[in-house]
Amino acid sequence: MTFSVPNLAGGSPGPPGPVGPVGTGVYGDMLAVFVFSGVTQAFTAGVPQKIVSFGTNGLSVGVTPDEANDRLVITEDGDYEVYWQQTYTLVAGAGFTFDFIEMRINGTPAPEASLTQFEGPIAYFFVCASAGGILSLSAGDVLEIYAQTSAGATVTWRDAQLFAWKARS
Amino acid sequence: MVFFVPDPEADPGQAGPAGSVGTGDFGSVYSNGISVLQAPGTAFTKLTGLFTVNGLTAGGGVTPNQALDQLVINTTGIYSLWSLVSAKGSGLGIFSIQARRNGIALPDVAGQDTVLTQPFWGAARGKGAVSLTSGDVIEVYGFTSAVITLTYTDAMLCAKRLA
């Protein structure tokens, strides 16, 4: 029979444990990549419309991408770095411009991440519009991209991304 | 019968807690729907009148100063830097922008686009990770391939510390 005797004096504390894993980020994105065909959308002059270019929900944690409704939904309060990009070509219309291509939060324009008076395409030319900024957002906020043209026009959305990444709780 | 006694010296501590999103460390300036004219010429010059609003800040690492079209870095570190300038041109030209640190080029944050009169308005933009030091002043420089006048319509400059 063997007895192990407790060290009643107690040992010194063990060494510190390893550094914890990187925090779980909060982010979400949507994207659509079309090589030769994409979503076509018609605009009426002076009428704002939500851009309906998205086709895939990207990676996400804590932000809900909803490509079916072309939007991101925030589920945690905080400050977020946001970014969007739209690449488009002309289907119909000539000499028009976009009065704006803007991010909207719950339908309200966010000037931090919006463009005014942006380029309308002509045949065979691709145009890329993008914007981004840092916004204070709340759980339940809905992020969408809206646009308005100076004249009736139809464009094809070729590539699109919409991204939100939490920068501060 | 065998008794085992824990030996604290042999037992490492528990792993530390997972990291969190953190308190953030960022600052920005921007404008939306402006109409500011500048003819920057065919060599890099500081773009002025770009920004009308000091954006969100947190952490004290970045001080936005829209009046001087610049961000001032207060905390040394690696930053994600993003800039965009949207413009129309009085004639055809290639519009180039480049973020600069104390007047020195940051080629990681640069971009070009073609500009012309309506409807050929464009935006030059760039984004990259750069090492910045406390006291650094970040500004946007630009030039055009031909001598034309630009009308700026929107602009953004954001710095967010990564490490």
Structure tokens at B135: 């006291």
Residue A14 lies in a domain: no
Average pLDDT of chain B?
89
Contact B21 A131 (CB under 8 A): no
Q: Which residue has the higher pLDDT, B114 or B32?
A: B32
Q: How confident is the model at residue B97 (pLDDT cuts 50, 70, 90)?
A: very high
Distance to chain A for B69, nearest Cα, Å:
15
| Facing B18 at nearest CB: one of A3, A21, A119 | A21
pLDDT at B78 over 50: yes
Which among A28-32, A54-58, B23-27, B96-100 has the top mean pLDDT?
A: B96-100
What are the phi and psi torsion angles at A68 (to 5°)? -60, -30
Structure tokens at B92: 């055809």
Residue A5 lies in a domain: no
Q: How confident is the model at residue B14 (pLDDT cuts 50, 70, 90)?
A: low
Residue A111 lies in a domain: yes
**pLDDT of A120:** 87
Contact B119 A4 (CB under 8 A): no
**pLDDT of A149:** 96
Q: Which residue of B has its CA nearest to A119?
A: B121
Q: Which residue of B has its CA nearest to A76?
A: B21
Closest CA to B3 of A8, A1, A3: A3
Residue A100 lies in a domain: yes
In this complex, how many residue pairs, one in chain A and one in chain B, have their CB atoms less than 8 Å apart? 158
Distance to chain A for B28, nearest Cα, Å:
7
- Report the alpha-carbon distance of residue B99 to residue B136 in Å, rounded: 12
Domain span at residue A42 reads 27-166
Contact A133 B15 (CB under 8 A): no
**pLDDT of A18:** 61
Percent of chain B with pLDDT over 90: 75
**pLDDT of A22:** 47
Q: Which residue has the higher pLDDT, B89 or A93?
A: B89
Averaged pLDDT, B52-60: 94
**pLDDT of B16:** 60
Residue A108 lies in a domain: yes
Residue A79 lies in a domain: yes
CATH number at residue A66: 2.60.120.40
ipTM here = 0.80
Distance to chain B for A70, nearest Cα, Å:
23
Residue A11 lies in a domain: no
Contacts of A23 in chain B (CB under 8 A): 18-22
pLDDT at B4 over 90: no
Tokens 């605009």 belong to A43
Range of weakest confidence among A23-32, A160-169, B98-107, B118-127: A23-32
Residue A16 lies in a domain: no
In a structure prediction context, what are the per-residue pLDDT tens digits for chain A, which is 169 residues long?
A: 666 655 556 667 666 666 544 455 677 877 766 655 688 999 999 999 999 988 888 888 889 999 999 999 999 999 999 999 999 999 888 788 999 999 999 999 999 999 998 988 888 788 999 999 999 999 999 999 999 999 999 999 988 899 999 888 7
Q: Which residue of B has its CA nearest to A116?
A: B33
CB A35: neighbour CB atoms within 10 A?
A: 7
Distance to chain B for A57, nearest Cα, Å:
22
Contact B154 A114 (CB under 8 A): yes
Contacts of B17 in chain A (CB under 8 A): 20
**pLDDT of A92:** 85
**pLDDT of B106:** 94
Angle at B156 between CA A22 and CA B113, to 5 degrees: 110
Contact B17 A118 (CB under 8 A): no
- Report the alpha-carbon distance of residue A134 to residue B80 in Å, rounded: 12
Give the helix, strand, coil percentages of chain B, each rounded to 5: 0, 55, 40
Averaged pLDDT, B63-92: 95
Structure tokens at A112: 């931090």
Q: pTM higher than 0.90, yes or no?
A: no
The answer to whether the bond into A48 is cis (omega within 30° of 0) is no
How many domains does one find in chain A?
Answer: 1
